[in-house]
Structure formats: C-alpha cells, structure tokens
Structure 1
Amino acid sequence: MEEKIIKHYSSFHNILLVGEGDFSFSLSLARAFGSAINMVATSLEDRASLAMKYTSAIRNLNELESLGCTILHEVDVYNINQHDYFKQHIFFDRIIFNFPHSGNFRHETQHWVIEEHKKLVSGFLGNAKYLLNVGGEIHITHKTAHPFSKWNIKNLAENERLSFVEEVSFSKYFYPGYQNKRGAGFKCNKSFPVGTCSTFKFSCLYYNFVP
C-alpha cells in the first residue's frame, strides 16, 4: 500500500482528532489519504447539536464515515482516556487538537479566562498522553500572538511530563477544505481569523503512565 502524506500526517499513522468543529479538518486528512480507516474523530457535541451549529457538519460526517472513519460524539477531553472506546487499549501515533478553547470569546485578555483555557489544555494533555503509541506525538495548534501566548502551552506540557518536539508554523491552507470554526456562541458557524499560529508537537518522556 502506498503511503500518502499531508504535512505532518501519514496514511500509515493511527490518528485521533479531538474537539472537532464541523469535522472539516478530519475530512481534509481523509481526502488526502483516500481513506480514514486509521482515523478516529471526536466532538463534545452529539450529532443533532452539530447539525444545528454547523451547516456542513452532517455532510462532512457522512463523507468521513463513507471513508471508514470512526466518529465518536460526546467525548470530553478532560476524561477522554476513560471513554469506553479507548478502554479497549487503542493507541495512536498522532493526537490532534486544533485551536482548543474554553468557550469564552469576549474576554480573552482577562486572567481568569486565560486560566480557563490553560485548564482545558492541561486536562487534554493529561489524558491524551495515555493514548499515545511509543514514538507518538500530541499536536496542539494554537494562536501565538498576545494574549494567546500567555497560555504557555510548552510549560503546560512539561507539567504533564511531556517532551517538546518542535513548533512549526500553521496555515489552514495546508489542509484543503478545512474551515476552522468557533466552538460556541451565535457565530459558531463562521470561521475566525487565526492570525499567526503554530502547531506544537509533544511526545512522552515515559511510557509507564498509570491512569
């Protein structure tokens, strides 16, 4: 079987995507690979809620499923490793969380809002690390300008005993068809300007984690 690659991701990788909006990022990878049998894509919302929030969600989900993607709804990043599906000892080469956000879009510069965002990222990292294959990586794509730089994602990962691999610039144009979406609010179906942003890559320092 021929390997197909889109940026940092290979058709040979087992890939987990969390916090998907309209699932257009997952679909971009699946289309590049020509298959999604090695992909699991999740959202916090159920299917009906996604249909109400995003005009393209159901169409994207249907295409992903036709390509063999496993879709899981109502998956909370704070306890993802405790989900019944992942208790089956399923591990991944890449775990992706694009533009994590706690849901408060109005007060981004406020200290308490920044702390909410950091709590979300830490919760994700603290659970996702249990789902990594040896040599696997966790990827977080995130704005790097102020005030988002105050999230200190590298420090959050270090606190979770994760090793920093590299930071690379991100553009959604690397992923044809991807439309970044807000996770909450009345404008959730609209894309937001990403500005300067990066994908931060982390790996496990140890592989003897005990949940």
Structure 2
Amino acid sequence: SYESKSTLHKVYPSDSISPTIQELEGGKEEEAGKKKNVSVCYNVDATNLKGTLPSTLVHEFFPSSSSSVENNKDDSKVIQPLSLDRIIWNFPCIAISNGYDGQRTELDDNIQMVRKFIKNAIPFLKPPLTTSSANGKNNKDAGGGEIHICHKTKPPFDLWNMETILKHNDNENDDND
C-alpha cells in the first residue's frame, strides 16, 4: 500500500479493510492446506518498488552478486531471485493534497505514473516462457507474471485510455528485448 497501515485504517472503515489485512498478514491456510506466500507492505511507491519495498523483500528479488553461480562452488546453495505471478494495483491515482482523485488537470501526470509503474514492476514478474518456432525465432508464450490494474471507467477516468497506456509500455518493452 502507498499508505501506512494506520492511515488505511483511518481512511477506510475497519469493517471493510481489517478482515482482508488480517487474513493476508496472518497467512491463514487456504483450502488446499497450503500457506499463502503473501507479503503485505506499507508506504510503498508503486513507481519505485525497488526503492520503497522493505529491503529484506527486495533482497529476495535481487540477490547480491555474491550469491551468483560464479562465486559459489555448490550450485544447490545459490539464491535464486523470486518472481511474482501477479502484481495488482487497484485504482492508481497521483496523490493530491486535497484528497480527491486526480481529475482532468492531473491526466498527463496519472498516465506517466502508470507507465512508470509498469516499467518498474516488470523486473519483479515471473519471466514468460520462451519457445523456438519453426522459423528459428524465439516466441514468448504464456507462463509469465501478470500486471492487473483496476480502474474507474466513468468520466473523467475514461480519458486515461488504459489500453493505450498498456500498449505503449508493451511496445517499449519489445524494443528493449
């Protein structure tokens, strides 16, 4: 969450958010008897995950070079970076002082924020599976991590045109491959 835990409880009624936070933080067992592998983090800037996630969690995603195969004679002890199946951002909007959602005047800033988030989140995602096609080119198939963004669609939020933002980022990432 961008907000602190105490701010979340002040802004949202306790009966609406507390059960969700409690379930996630408590790591309750799912129906299959497996523990959830969930980390709930507060005061996180979605456009700067590496810089604002707790350092212990960032280390799990970006292990130090001292744990690489070249520096470790026993490959079984190599720390592999974690990767996420999903990153979910519900209702992205720049923070404005009066507490209202960004409107038309903040449209460009909000679009840039979402683009920056997507670019910043990609290193945390599970990479897509790659297969070779008949023509010898590598193709990215399903199996990689996903970014889910929930957003309002009524005016003025429809002006964000999320599909265009996502397509712009997708084309940028293809150029960097």
TM-score, scaled relative to structure 2: 0.58
Report how far residue 129 of structure 1 moved: 1.2
- Calculate the aligned-residue CA RMSD, in Å: 2.7
Unpaired runs of 5+ residues, structure 1, are 1-42, 164-203
> Residue 128 of structure 1: CA displacement?
0.9
Consecutive unaligned residues of structure 2, counting only runs of 5 or more, are 29-35, 62-81, 128-143
Q: TM-score normalised to the size of structure 1? A: 0.50
Q: Percent identity, aligned pairs only?
A: 29
- Which has the larger displacement, 47-56 or 118-127? 47-56
Q: Which residue of 1 aligns with 2:6?
A: 48
For 1:130 and 1:80, how far apart are their aligned partners in 2? 10
1:131 to 124, 143, 163: 124
SS at match of 1:71: coil
Task: Tell me whether 1:102 sits opposite 2:94 in the alignment.
Answer: yes
- Radius of gyration: which is bigger? 2
1:146: how far off? 3.1
Give the 3-state SS of the residue equivalent to 2:40 in structure 1.
strand
Say whether residues 1:93 and 2:85 are aligned partners: yes
Distance in 2 between residues matched to 1:153 and 1:107, nearest whole Å: 15
Determine if contact 2:87/2:146 at 8 Å carries over to the other structure: yes
1:76 matched to 2:45? The reply is: yes
The 1:103/1:130 distance shift into structure 2, 3 A limit, reads same
The answer to which structure has the higher strand fraction is: 1
Which structure has more relative contact order (CA 8 Å, sep 6+)? It is 1
- Does the aligned pair in 2 maintain the 1:95–1:137 contact within 8 Å? yes
Q: 1:107 to 1:99 in 2, by over 3 A?
A: closer
> For residue 168 of structure 2, what is the aligned residue in structure 1?
159
Of Structure 1 and Structure 2, the greater helix share is in 2
Count of residue pairs the alignment pairs up: 124
Instruction: Give the partner amino acid of 1:63.
Output: E
